Amino acid sequence: MPHEQYQTVIKTLHECMEACNHCYDACLKEDDIQMMSDCIRLDRECADICGYFEQALGRGTPFVSVLAGVCAQICEACGNECKKHDHDHCQKCAKACFECAEECRKLAA
Amino acid sequence: MPHEQYQTVIKTLHECMEACNHCYDACLKEDDIQMMSDCIRLDRECADICGYFEQALGRGTPFVSVLAGVCAQICEACGNECKKHDHDHCQKCAKACFECAEECRKLAA
Amino acid sequence: MPHEQYQTVIKTLHECMEACNHCYDACLKEDDIQMMSDCIRLDRECADICGYFEQALGRGTPFVSVLAGVCAQICEACGNECKKHDHDHCQKCAKACFECAEECRKLAA
Amino acid sequence: MPHEQYQTVIKTLHECMEACNHCYDACLKEDDIQMMSDCIRLDRECADICGYFEQALGRGTPFVSVLAGVCAQICEACGNECKKHDHDHCQKCAKACFECAEECRKLAA
């Protein structure tokens, strides 16, 4: 069953989505929000694709590898932006994004 | 922080979404699919609203109680349809839906 | 058929979603982004619920009035925030939000 | 501005999403639903990715070509399934899917 076969990646996608949404929310409350605009934008893109892919895996989508490929790219880009910023939420988000990109690359291969 | 404050409901929404997506996938493979059409339809509605609300909570939406209200109604309806069917995936889904409806009603109050 | 019965509201939801996404994108490029943080946040909430409801209407959701109610509230809130700002994208977005709130209230009644 | 630059593809994605959601809804009401299970499944996948990509384009996503690539593949697969069935909604959906796949391939290139 899909939700068993993909248990690890679903968990990783979920943690990445949560880290991105938390980082997005926290960035919008920062004083230096001007510097965070790319981070806000990428957090949304990344949370949305992770949430999307997690659902698609859970419902047995036939498009696993192609969706994994796009998700890996978006996670990688979001991680690269987040790691530039010292905020704790950005550093945690970068870590979650890179782990998720790694898991997605395995599925895409 | 939203993702801490709402930890229980986020987990419950997530389990409900997974149960609904699994039930949807399994219903589409059943022999008696004709009987399962309402279940398929409601599984999608319920998975989609749970996934939506989970994301909204994670990003600090200001619309918690109104979204919780609509989510509770959709979970309740999906649970009522699922519990009519003997398939293991339907019974498990009904249970997840009712638990989620209960959590959402608390938030909506 | 749902997509015919709800043609007007689907069109209005779609225009509101586009206005919100455009306003979100434009706000993230403004110099006074600090002042726009609530606008960015509400644009995302409003675009997401309008996109969600539009899809739900198109697939014959049984939850029309309850979804219309929550959509009306979110559109109204987003319109109220957008109208505070002089940017052309904010003023246009406010207009689209209020029109959408009006259509949704009719469906919710 | 994104919503102007991508006006044609946004319109095509939107029409494809509507055709898929209508076909999904109509398939669930058909007598020969057993034969339609792949169509129901692919209609959902296709509607969801078109709705997703349309929103992403509207908000200025930096991931246009990679999302266009995955959308093209899913539209193509959905069109190939739909065209097997004589129902008017399936034939119309196949047409919308192939047009959308074509537009997406142009963007992905």
Alpha-carbon gap, residue B57 to B47, rounded angstroms: 15
For C58, which residue in chain D has the nearest alpha carbon? D21
* Residue A56 clears pLDDT 70, i.e. is over it: yes
Residues of C with CB under 8 A from a CB of D: 1-3, 10, 14, 17-18, 21-22, 24-26, 47-48, 51, 54-55, 58-60
What end-to-end distance do the CA atoms of chain A give, in Å? 21
Q: Which residues of A touch C41 (CB under 8 A)?
A: 28
For residue D3, the model assigns a pLDDT of 57
Express each pLDDT in D61-96 by its tens digit.
999 999 999 999 999 999 999 999 999 999 999 999
For D45, which residue in chain B has the nearest alpha carbon? B44
For residue C5, the model assigns a pLDDT of 79
Residue D51 is nearest to which of C22, C24, C51, comparing CB atoms?
Answer: C51
Smallest Cα–Cα separation from B74: which of D31, C52, C10? C52
3-state DSSP of chain D = CHHHHCHHHHHHHHHHHHHHHHHHHHHCCCCCHHHHHHHHHHHHHHHHHHHHHHHHHHCCCCCHHHHHHHHHHHHHHHHHHHCCCCCHHHHHHHHHHHHHHHHHHHHHC
For residue B73, the model assigns a pLDDT of 97
For C59, which residue in chain B has the nearest alpha carbon? B41
For residues D100 and D45, is the Cβ–Cβ distance under 8 A? no
User: Are residues D33 and B37, on separate chains, in Cβ contact within 8 Å?
Assistant: yes
Q: To 5 degrees, how large is the angle CA B24–CA B22–CA D14?
A: 55
Express each pLDDT in A15-38 by its tens digit.
999 999 999 999 999 998 999 999
> How distant is the Cα of C37 from the closest Cα of chain A, in angstroms?
6
Residue B41 is nearest to which of D28, D37, D41, comparing CB atoms?
Answer: D28
CATH code reported for the domain at A2-108: 1.20.1270.360
Q: Which of A28, A42, A55 to mutate to test the interface with C (most CBs of C within 10 A)?
A: A28
Kindly give, in sequence order, each residue whose CB lies less than 8 Å from that of residue B105, ignoring residues fewer than 6 positions away: B68, B72
User: Are residues A22 and B3, on separate chains, in Cβ contact within 8 Å?
Assistant: yes
Express each pLDDT in C48-96 by its tens digit.
999 999 999 999 999 999 999 999 999 999 999 999 999 999 999 999 9
For residue C3, the model assigns a pLDDT of 57
